[in-house]
Structure 1
Amino acid sequence: MAKLIATTPSAGLLPLTVGTVTLTEVDTGPVTLIAPFDGAQKATSDALKAAVGVGFPAPNRTLGQTQDKKPRMVWCGMGQALLVGADCPDLPQAAVMDHSDAWAIVRIDGADAAAVLARLTPIDLRDSQFKRGHTARTLVAHMTVSVTRVGPQTYEVMAMRSMAGTLVHDLEQAAKNMAARAALA
């Protein structure tokens, strides 16, 4: 019988530092998709606040801590958010689904983090437009992802687990291109 060994989505690919940018894999712990039923968003938000300390986020926003394995809510689509870093409480007023093994999350940190992402995504990453706590469902290269700003020079990119290798490759290549450009300057 084969012995199976659990691995993370980016096992063997990260961490990686290229130029001024560091790419690391984020282990958040549990991830649960929450979609309140019609008219139940406030009740869902109140139940979440009572149980894990964060409510349901507004569109394109996150709520809670940005450190690994701390409870937070990340908006991920119309009427949907991900509870990250905490077990989901009983929410009879919402549809819930465990997504703990579904996502690959890569943190991009460093002076050129925004420039690296700007090579791959159409969203406006300027400080005045995409502030800490902002999140967007968008594209990175050809993949649908969620990009969240978690610090002054730090972003998290969430892609489906099956796209982890492609995500790391595309981010690494963009970082190498930025580093080569800086070397020529």
Structure 2
Amino acid sequence: MGNLIAKRPLGVDPVGHGDLVLAEVDLGRVTSVAPFAGADVARVLKPLVFPAPGVVSSKGDARLVWTGRGQAFLFGAVPEGLGAVAALSDQSDGWAGLSLTGTGAVDVLARLVPLDLRALVPGQCARTTLGHMPLILIAVFGGFEVLVFRSMARSAWHEVEQALRMWGARAQC
């Protein structure tokens, strides 16, 4: 039997203009957490809190990102003990992450995302689209993380890179 070698979704080098940088993000383990009705998830998640819509709960390297009604993605932590109070599924191979950081990140993504990104502050997130692709957008200090289905990672990279280049060309005028 052959050995399988894990590969990054994109395997690309960061690109940028000035201090604006588009890079691939290693998401690590991604676990979908959907609490059972009436379950006390807070007791198991300590010190994390199950996030309200549009919110990211974090403690150290662990993040719990709201991804829809009654669902969140857990990053950077092993979901020990959660199986008794929530339906869990490993999403690690199904998602890819991009980061866009620096001055102008809002302006670049505004070309592609139908939200007022100026209203998002670090610790908030949104389910939206990037062109025709569904995505999870997370506001971080200095920019955004963009999570897309792995099968759409190259398309998302291309769209954001093109918008970045157009923004850069306009900034030079």
TM-score scaled by structure 1? 0.87
Structure 2 residue corresponding to 1:57, chosen from 32, 44, 51? 51
Per-residue CA shift, 1:90-122, capped at 9, x if unaligned? 221211001111110111101011111100001
Question: What is the aligned partner in structure 2 of residue 132 from structure 1?
Answer: 122
Identity of aligned residues (%): 43
- Indicate if the aligned counterparts of 1:137 and 1:147 stay in contact, CA closer than 8 A: yes
SS at match of 1:107: strand
Q: Are 1:46 and 1:55, in contact at CA under 8 Å, matched by a contact in 2?
A: no
**2:104 paired residue number:** 112
Q: Partners in 1 of 2:13 and 2:74 — Cα distance? A: 24
Give 5+ residue unaligned stretches, structure 1: none
Aligned-residue Cα RMSD (Å) equals: 1.6
Superposed, 1:27-106 pairs within 5 Å as: 27-40=26-39, 43-49=40-46, 53-65=47-59, 70-91=61-82, 92-106=84-98
Report the secondary structure of 2:121's partner residue: coil
Per the alignment, in what secondary structure is the counterpart of residue 117 of structure 2? coil
CA contact (8 A) 2:27 2:96 kept: no
Q: Which residue of 153, 172, 177 maps to 2:161? A: 172
- What is the TM-score of this pair, normalised by structure 2? 0.93
